Amino acid sequence: MSEKETTESARTIEFVSLTAGGQGFCIEITLIREIRRWSQVTALPFAEDSVLGVMNLRGAVIPIVDLAARLGLGATEIGARNIVVVTAIGSKIVGLVVDSVSEILSVNVETIRPNPTLRRDGTGNHVVGLLPVDDVMLRVLDLETLFAKGTEEAA
């Protein structure tokens, strides 16, 4: 009985669904540290366009990245309505600016469909899966892949 339960919970992943650049995405909840309102950032020189600047998160200096711009969906028009999703990517803490955050989804692993557009040229694809929820399709984001290149560039 208890064995069945553990296998069941092991197969369930929790995601946070959000929209950026007008599209639906989801990020594994274990990667998210907190969600906060947009506040003014300090611009960084020589940074790529998607890096809006750095912000003071209780004494830590964290970069704030426009997720839509990062994904190539065009720059987000930043305003007070925007949300910053603070995520832990590897050992780094990065804030992602998104349009909105909707809900927490408990998802069985088996319902995640592989991304059929996976490239074969070796470059990582940051959308690792597709998740149909009701009548919309959420893209499962792999943040490590998305930021692997950018942070090296910045370093």
The residues that touch another protein, with contacts defined as CB under 8 A, are: 40-47, 51, 54-56, 58-63, 91-94, 151-155
Q: Which is nearer to another protein, 47 or 128 (CB)?
A: 47
Q: Give min distance, CB of 53 to another protein, in A.
A: 8
Please give the distance of CA 13 from its chain centroid, rounded to a whole number.
Answer: 15
Q: Which is nearer to another protein, 2 or 40 (CB)?
A: 40
* Closest to 97 measured CA to CA, from 13, 153, 41: 41
Q: Which is nearer to another protein, 52 or 98 (CB)?
A: 52
* Closest to 94 measured CA to CA, from 23, 24, 44: 44
Q: Give min distance, CB of 92 to another protein, in A.
A: 5
Q: Give min distance, CB of 149 to another protein, in A.
A: 12
